[in-house]
Structure 1
């Protein structure tokens, strides 16, 4: 019996290099489908981000003033981040307050404090969610939120705090009664 020649892709044959294996059409199709889905996810993420940014830029920060049982109430709606934001004034200048029952004082970002012409008092330290920070004591002559006016209020200036939102902490909130129901927070001052 004659010996047949070795097959072309014989792994024992050192003289002839093996042919590269081509990906099957099903593997190529799978990778194309994965890439297409990734592109769809990226496009939807970008669209959702821009929609959310537009939605948040038109935040409802207007506090509503109403009277219930003869008591004036300032009503604030909760936003999509479960925060209560409201327009107000510090020393007659407009600001946005973020109600924060975890903050000891009213806390103003450093750059905003400069715009409001607040004077830095003595330096101290505060423990925040971001760690220990250096702050300066200050006094607010007048704070207004809705119908509520608070005079001569202790506050803090935080130079490392960014943004334009003022934390409305307990140094102010202790002067009011507040009740949260559903998505609304009601602030009032008892007569």
Structure 2
């Protein structure tokens, strides 16, 4: 009696191992890409534009990790209404927001926002909007900072304005 595995089992196992190696390689590459897109050194934050065309600034809302999309066209910071519910944020009133897609109705709330690199905004006014896909960091934070955008690189120079 032979104890050798069937040939088809060997082939399937080989393909599965190859697939696993490719998957792990892609995950490593994505992690490296994320780490190289955000850099802090000597009071200067550099964020490279992502492959989706947006600048991503990692941070927290009341200690909960989020990935903000930097939106220089937004006057205020906004988050998905579902995230506001998940974070159990207290709504303080209804608001109407003008967006690229038209007027939308949302809820106003306040939360503590911390951005990687040392930028803080305590009790920041935030709009919770239904249908929003990701948290947007607006000019109510960006307007307090010295920043410039050129050639796919967003540079933020920190100084005394990094804590609010």
Alignment TM-score, normalising by the size of structure 2: 0.71
Larger Rg: 1
Deviation at 1:61, TM superposition (A): 4.2
Aligned 8 A contact 1:65 1:74 in 2: yes
Q: Kindly indicate whether residue 36 of structure 2 is the aligned counterpart of residue 64 of structure 1.
A: no
> What residue in structure 1 maps to residue 94 of structure 2?
123
User: Normalized per residue, which structure has more helix?
Assistant: 2
- Which among 31, 46, 57 is matched to residue 75 of structure 1? 46
Q: Deviations over 1:74-105 (max 9, x none)?
A: 21110123210121111111000000011111
Q: Deviations over 1:19-74 (max 9, x none)?
A: xxxxxxxxxxxxxxxxxxxxxxxxxxxxxxxxxxx89x93744421111xxxx112
Gaps of 5+ in 1: 1-53
Greater relative contact order (Cα 8 A, min sep 6): structure 1 or 2? 2
- Which among 177, 185, 190 is matched to residue 146 of structure 2? 177
Aligned 8 A contact 1:61 1:96 in 2: no
> What residue in structure 2 maps to residue 155 of structure 1?
126
CA RMSD of superposed structures (Å): 2.1
Aligned 8 A contact 2:77 2:135 in 1: yes
Q: Secondary structure at the residue paired with 1:143?
A: strand
Give aligned pairs, total. 131
Q: Deviations over 1:121-160 (max 9, x none)?
A: 2002111111111011111123323221222211100023
For 2:95 and 2:148, locate their aligned partners in 1 and report how far apart those are by CA, in whole Å: 32
Gaps of 5+ in 2: 1-25
**Cα distance change, pair 117–58 in 1 and its aligned pair in 2 (3 A):** farther
User: Normalized per residue, which structure has more strand?
Assistant: 2
